[in-house]
Homo-oligomer: A and B are copies of this chain.
Amino acid sequence: MKNAIHFEIVKTHRHSSARLGILTTPRGRIDTPCFMPVGTQATVKALTPEDLKSFGVQIILGNTYHLYLRPGHDLICSLGGLHKFMNWSRPILTDSGGYQVFSLKKFAKVTEEGVTFQSHIDGSSHFISPERSMEIQQALGADIIMAFDEPTPHPSDPRQTETSLRLTTLWARRCKEALRSDTQALFGIVQGGMHLDLRKKSAEQITGIDFPGYAIGGLSVGEEKSLMYDITGYTANILPTSKPRYLMGVGTPEDLLQCSAMGVDMFDCVMPTRNARNGTLFVKGGKINIKNSRYQSDPDPIAPDCSCYTCKNFSKAYLRHLIMADEILAMRLLTLHNSTFYQQWMVGIRKSIADDIPFNMD
């Protein structure tokens, strides 16, 4: 089977384990480390494809669980696949649906065969197995697809965690066997909870199956930040150097920087878009909440040196007015800012690696 993607490490950072890479896919190039905006329901909330391109997004994430339930993968497939459906011509990564299925765990029943769960939309009953997840993700047609795993709940003791990672390994093998397309790259997912020995065991099993890329799953689930960093650093270090490493569902700008330094190449998180809709905006050195009354008559942009459309055109006073008045435009303008911030942040990380500048947290 030919490789759907090609990953080249251009350079490693003199001051850390960070790598500057180029991930080449059938639909275009991705400079790594990269951040993938989350397009849960075939749209990055409040943004158009042109918006995403305008601030340099090279790949977005789609959620298999949501698209399977609504509008349905068969419908999307019959309309030419997810790219055409949402009019996004650049690469897409879809998750496996596992995370969402298990986050509704009280309504889910797990067997070795797969997971039976209830739709959050209408309560209807559904079944997803590794094979079914592959079938759905192939119908959606993303460039990178993820193995169907069981994210280990947190906290979990070693015994629970080991049971869970064994299922993840079993399912990963079945996903690879079920893969029919040679234009989609299937990534394996390493679990193992908060136990280094079990992370090692999972990494050995998953890399033993051999995938073109590996994800670190089951983190950012309520654990201490330092523990998340420990597990990430440890796991990234035992994954193959030559394959892209994707840390799922992480995180803050600081997380992206710290974990890039540990050798992670890919990130995704709802934080920039969800925070924007709540009025929380990222700026250098931290974040602000635009709803705060201190911005009521502030004539300045969110960040004077930001190149985003919002900062070029609108004052904090206006943005605060829009969100206080529940105006839809607020959602777009604030999402544009945060999303631009995240892409620019990754540009900065990549530049630091290229120029061998130590990562600066200020």
Residues on B with C-beta less than 8 A from A163 are: none
Contact A327 B41 (CB under 8 A): yes
Query: A66: nearest residue on chain B (CB-CB)?
Result: B325
Judge if A252 is at the interface, Cβ distance under 8 Å: no
Partner of A328, one of B70, B71, B80, B328: B328
Judge if A291 is at the interface, Cβ distance under 8 Å: no
Residues on B with C-beta less than 8 A from A48 are: 309, 313, 329, 332-333
Q: How far is the CB of A24 from chain B (nearest CB, A)?
A: 26
Residues on B with C-beta less than 8 A from A328 are: 45-46, 328, 331-332
Contact B85 A329 (CB under 8 A): no
Contact A79 B324 (CB under 8 A): no
In the complex, per-residue mask of A21-54: 1 if CB is within 8 Å of any chain B CB, else 0: 0000000000000000000011101111110000
Residues on B with C-beta less than 8 A from A331 are: 328
Partner of A332, one of B42, B70, B296, B332: B332
Residues on B with C-beta less than 8 A from A309 are: 48, 50
Query: A318: nearest residue on chain B (CB-CB)?
Result: B85
Contact B296 A43 (CB under 8 A): no
Partner of A327, one of B45, B79, B322: B45
Contact B329 A70 (CB under 8 A): no
What would 4 more interface pairs be, CB under 8 Å, given A41-B321, A70-B325? A42-B318, A42-B322, A45-B327, A46-B329
Contact B45 A329 (CB under 8 A): yes
Residues on B with C-beta less than 8 A from A242 are: none
Known contacts: A313-B87, A332-B48. The answer to whether A322 contacts B43 by CB under 8 A is yes
Q: How far is the CB of A309 from chain B (nearest CB, A)?
A: 8
Identical chains bound together, number: 2
Judge if A78 is at the interface, Cβ distance under 8 Å: yes
- Per the bound structure, the CA–CA distance linking A299 and B80 in Å amounts to 9
Judge if A315 is at the interface, Cβ distance under 8 Å: yes
Query: A71: nearest residue on chain B (CB-CB)?
Result: B321
Residue positions of A touching B, CB distance < 8 A: 41-43, 45-50, 70-71, 75, 78-80, 85-87, 296-297, 299, 309, 313-315, 317-318, 320-322, 324-325, 327-329, 331-333
Query: A335: nearest residue on chain B (CB-CB)?
Result: B328
Query: A85: nearest residue on chain B (CB-CB)?
Result: B318
Residues on B with C-beta less than 8 A from A46 are: 328-329, 332
Q: How far is the CB of A335 from chain B (nearest CB, A)?
A: 8
- Per the bound structure, the CA–CA distance linking A328 and B336 in Å amounts to 13
Partner of A75, one of B41, B86, B296, B313: B296
Residues on B with C-beta less than 8 A from A325 are: 41, 70-71
Q: How far is the CB of A231 from chain B (nearest CB, A)?
A: 34
- Per the bound structure, the CA–CA distance linking A318 and B296 in Å amounts to 38
- Per the bound structure, the CA–CA distance linking A320 and B86 in Å amounts to 12
Residues on B with C-beta less than 8 A from A85 are: 315, 317-318, 321
Query: A312: nearest residue on chain B (CB-CB)?
Result: B87
Residues on B with C-beta less than 8 A from A78 are: 297
Q: How far is the CB of A184 from chain B (nearest CB, A)?
A: 22
Contact B43 A315 (CB under 8 A): no
Residues on B with C-beta less than 8 A from A315 are: 79, 85
- Per the bound structure, the CA–CA distance linking A328 and B78 in Å amounts to 25
Residues on B with C-beta less than 8 A from A47 are: 329
